[in-house]
Structure 1
């Protein structure tokens, strides 16, 4: 089941008691953008959606979380990882949606760390705009290559290479290579 981003955003906005205009002002985006997203007539960039969710405040993992059973466990099988596929959730074409997959271990709202299994197919990108969020993140490239931009510096990482940085610095991941890239990452506190 795909998430209806517009319906979910409207529900979150109403739950916080904000008008479209108030949310837009707090997020630093236009009222028209909020309206278009809620009507399903526009898909926000990752950076725009992040600004909107920061104004609520809410993390990506909370926004895209399913309402599955509230069971506490310490083991999460591969097929139980929660998909936070931003491409699919943002109503992109099927081809574009398949380029980026973020699978979360457990329910990040119950922990002080968020762990992800990330897969970037060739051409996958977190968006042309660099984004920020609170906390720190770290990861290890397991397979393939990824271009990571933090602030104004871009580095290419390959298998075994790792990164760690303050997530408040603008950043972006982009796979401009011919093979998929797999990363195991963590963010603390859970804010992505």
Structure 2
């Protein structure tokens, strides 16, 4: 095994949020075993490494193939969100650069009277959201509801729908849709 086994073990252990002691306890080995492997002072046998990996749990194949150096972003600062605005409202996409995204998460700001347009939206999948502040008029098919802060929606996105700020203050919404349409 390569000199990098210890570095890889440490990175994966940290990725899973485990301390050396916790991994040692789960794997049924001593804390010093984990420590010496991570310091690359010993090169564990296949059996020893397999035993340690049972504490995560993870297969040997996963251990050697998981990309620990170029992991995808997990946390995003406000400035990392991609603005998808058309000028009438703000829609900021979370995780725009994630490869093979399966979910669209938006932080939406509707100015007073702002809406998604006169044309109803139809797309595959499901959509859900929570109003954080203000009032949001949601039309789904022949149903309409005005939602306030703390209220939420969840519907089949193939049903024609639209959103509009029907209040007298800016409206803020956090929404999610699957599959991601953008």
* TM-score strictly above 0.5: yes
Q: Quick check: 1:135–1:191 contact (8 Å CA) kept in 2?
A: no
Q: Quick check: 2:112–2:170 contact (8 Å CA) kept in 1?
A: yes
Tell me the TM-score normalized by structure 2.
Answer: 0.58
**Residue in 2 that maps onto 1:138:** 128
What is the Cα deviation at residue 176 of structure 1? 2.7
Query: 2:107 & 2:99 partners in 1: Cα distance?
Result: 17
Query: 1:75 & 1:134 partners in 2: Cα distance?
Result: 27
**Residue in 2 that maps onto 1:100:** 89
CA RMSD of aligned residues (A): 1.7
What is the Cα deviation at residue 109 of structure 1? 5.7
1:166 equivalent among 156, 161, 168 = 156
Q: Quick check: 2:126–2:157 contact (8 Å CA) kept in 1?
A: yes
**Residue in 2 that maps onto 1:47:** none
**Mapped pair 1:180 → 2:176:** no
Q: Quick check: 1:117–1:185 contact (8 Å CA) kept in 2?
A: yes
Q: Which residues in structure 2 correspond to 1:71-90 (within 5 Å)?
A: 72-85=72-85, 87=86
Query: 1:160 & 1:103 partners in 2: Cα distance?
Result: 20
What is the Cα deviation at residue 110 of structure 1? 2.5
Q: How has the CA–CA distance of structure 1 residues 109 and 156 changed in structure 2, closer, same or farther, with 3 Å as cutoff?
A: farther
Which runs of no fewer than 5 residues in structure 1 stay unpaired? 1-69, 88-96
Query: 2:121 & 2:82 partners in 1: Cα distance?
Result: 22
Query: 2:178 & 2:150 partners in 1: Cα distance?
Result: 21
| SS of residue matched to 1:79 | helix
Tell me the TM-score normalized by structure 1.
Answer: 0.55
Q: Which residues in structure 2 correspond to 1:1-192 (within 5 Å)?
A: 72-85=72-85, 87=86, 97=87, 99-107=88-96, 110-192=100-182
Q: Quick check: 1:83–1:104 contact (8 Å CA) kept in 2?
A: yes
Q: How has the CA–CA distance of structure 1 residues 109 and 135 changed in structure 2, closer, same or farther, with 3 Å as cutoff?
A: farther
What is the Cα deviation at residue 146 of structure 1? 0.6
The structure carrying a bigger helix percent of its residues is 1
